[in-house]
C-alpha cells in the first residue's frame, strides 16, 4: 500500500509553508530528521531519521518506522522488543524538513535500546554548573524499563564508536 502514497513535488515556498500538500524535504542522504515524544506527557523519547520508504510505511501502518543509519535498514520500532510506537499524531515543520511524531509506546513504555524510557536519560551541565561538575553527565533516569540483554539477546548494538 505504501507504494500508492505519493508526496507532492516542492514547487513554491508558499506551497511548502502554507499549502496542504505533503512535500517533505529529504537531505542529501535521502533522510529527514524525526523527533518523537510521548503523546500524553510530551516527554521527548528519541531522535531518529526516516527515508522516503520509512515515512510512507509510518503513514500506512500508523506505527513508527525509521531508517537505521547504523544498520542501513528500515527499522520498525518495536518489531524485536515489542515496544511498538503507535503514532497518534504526525506533524511536519514549516519548511517540511523535520517530522515530529507523537506516540503511545506499547509493551512497557520504553523507547531507548539501552533500556530507559527515553533516549535522553542524561543531562549535560551548562553555564556556572560546569565550573563545579565539568562535563560529567547526570543521569535523569535511574531505573531501566527493561534489560536489553533479555530483549535483544546477541543482536549487535546499534551504537557506533
Q: Where exactly are the structural domains of the chain?
A: 28-109
Report, as an integer, the average pLDDT of 11-18. 97
Residues 6+ apart with CB under 8 A from 56: 2, 5
- The tens digit of pLDDT for each residue in 98-138 reads 999 999 999 878 888 899 999 999 999 999 999 998 999 99
- Given phi > 0 = left and psi -120 to 50 = alpha, else beta, which region is 72? left
Per-residue pLDDT reduced to its tens digit, 47-60: 999 999 999 999 99
Q: Looking at residue 2, what is its pLDDT?
A: 65
Is the pLDDT at 38 greater than 80? The verdict is: yes
28-109 folds as Ubiquitin-like (UB roll) (3.10.20)
Give me the pLDDT at residue 161, please.
85
Amino acid at each position: 500500500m505504501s507504494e500508492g502514497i505519493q508526496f507532492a513535488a516542492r514547487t513554491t515556498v508558499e506551497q511548502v509553508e502554507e499549502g496542504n500538500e505533503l512535500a517533505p524535504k529529504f537531505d542529501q542522504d535521502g533522510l529527514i530528521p524525526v523527533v518523537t515524544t510521548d503523546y500524553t506527557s510530551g516527554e521527548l523519547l528519541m531522535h531518529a531519521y526516516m527515508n522516503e520508504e520509512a515515512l510512507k510505511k509510518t503513514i500506512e501502518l500508523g506505527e513508527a518506522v525509521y531508517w537505521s543509519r547504523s544498520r542501513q535498514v528500515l527499522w520498525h520500532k518495536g518489531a524485536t522488543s515489542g515496544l511498538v510506537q503507535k503514532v497518534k499524531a504526525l506533524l511536519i515543520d514549516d519548511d517540511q524538513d523535520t517530522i515530529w511524531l507523537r506516540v503511545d509506546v506499547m509493551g512497557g513504555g520504553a523507547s531507548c535500546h539501552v533500556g530507559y524510557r527515553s533516549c535522553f536519560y542524561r543531562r549535560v551541565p551548562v553555564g556556572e554548573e560546569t565550573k563545579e561538575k565539568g562535563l560529567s553527565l547526570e543521569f535523569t533516569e535511574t531505573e531501566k524499563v527493561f534489560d536489553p540483554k533479555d530483549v535483544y539477546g546477541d543482536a549487535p548494538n546499534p551504537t557506533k564508536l
